[in-house]
Amino acid sequence: MDNERLTLRFWGTRGSYPVPGPHTVRFGGNTTCVEVQAGNHTLIIDAGTGIINLGYDLIRRAQARGGMPIRATLLLTHMHHDHTQGFPYFQPAYLGSSVLHILGPRTFEEDLEETLNHAVLPPSFPVSLSEMPSLKIVRSLRANEMVLLDGELSKPQIYNVYRDHVEIGPDALQVQIHKSSAHPRNGVHIYRLTYHGRSFVFASDTEGYVNTDQRLAQFAHNTDLIIHDAQYSEEDYVRNRQGWGHSTPQMACAVARQAGAGRLVLFHHEPRYDDAAVAALEDAARRIFPNTIAAYEGLEIVL
């Protein structure tokens, strides 16, 4: 049934900074943003510049449904610029009828709402979070929590995985959290989303380990799909990118194989690489893990 499908749409696939131009047409130049549709639930992972075009498309879809209000959950992996820089231009945030639940990790001692206001909005942008007309519910997430979206209004419920007994309904979208320290400063949240028995893992901005990241492979065990950071070629990584918090396609393939994942999507492409360079990395990865694709803007995957 259509309402039991888990649909992913890629709106931004680059890392670090946007790179529009003739050399990035195939894979796209916008930074990180992936839309997830699961029944009535709309969930957005990260708010790089890809979220700008997504915002306009959500408004178009709402108008096509007779002006229905936009309700969405924005799930942030961390607060680095390439994962938040599109949020000030996300047009549904400026509609009074929109309801946005914004979830993500704490940054040092600040709650998520404080970080949004200090690092993403003023003084870097003229409009504060409170001045955006939409209803915004902002909540920091911890690694010992999980998120459930259930019911018609897609209001996320947050539970402690060790303390709370939770009944997961048949139509619930479940979000599990894995905290990785393999990214500079404050680490990153990696998410596993499950809906009607189908699942995928979003593992951007993580760096591989010797003999594979075993904790991540276990977290992604038997998932249908893993979206994994693959920013650097092996040559660039060995030359001067170790410790920068990003992986190679070979590292991504190792995790996918160890996890027994069904498919692998290479993600967070290096902005200096043109389309030919990304395609070459995709070809190299397919020789290790055949069911691999490099993410591109407009890619849609249905699980």
| CA gap 13, 177 in Å, rounded | 21
Determine the Cα–Cα distance for residues 299 and 263; give it in Å rounded to an integer. Answer: 14
What is the residue extent of each domain of the chain?
2-302
Is domain 2-302 given the CATH code 3.20.20.70 in the classification? no
Task: Give the up-direction half-sphere exposure of residue 7: CA atoms within 13 A in the CB hemisphere.
Answer: 14
Given a contact cutoff of 8 angstroms between Cβ atoms, the answer to whether 265 and 300 are in contact is no
Residue 154, pLDDT above cutoff 70 = no
Please name the residue that has the structure tokens 């490099």: 294
- Summarised one tens digit per residue, pLDDT across range 234-280 is 999 999 888 777 899 999 999 999 999 999 999 999 999 999 999 99
Contact 64, 116 (CB under 8 A): no
Q: How far apart are CA 64 and CA 97, in angstroms?
A: 16
How far CA 280 is from CA of 20, 48, 283, 284, 285, in Å, comes to 20, 25, 5, 6, 9
- Tell me, yes or no, if the pTM score tops 0.75: yes
In one letter, which amino acid is 282? E
- For the chain, how far is it from start to end, CA to CA, in angstroms? 12
Write the pLDDT tens digit of every residue in 57-85.
Answer: 999 999 999 989 999 999 999 888 999 99
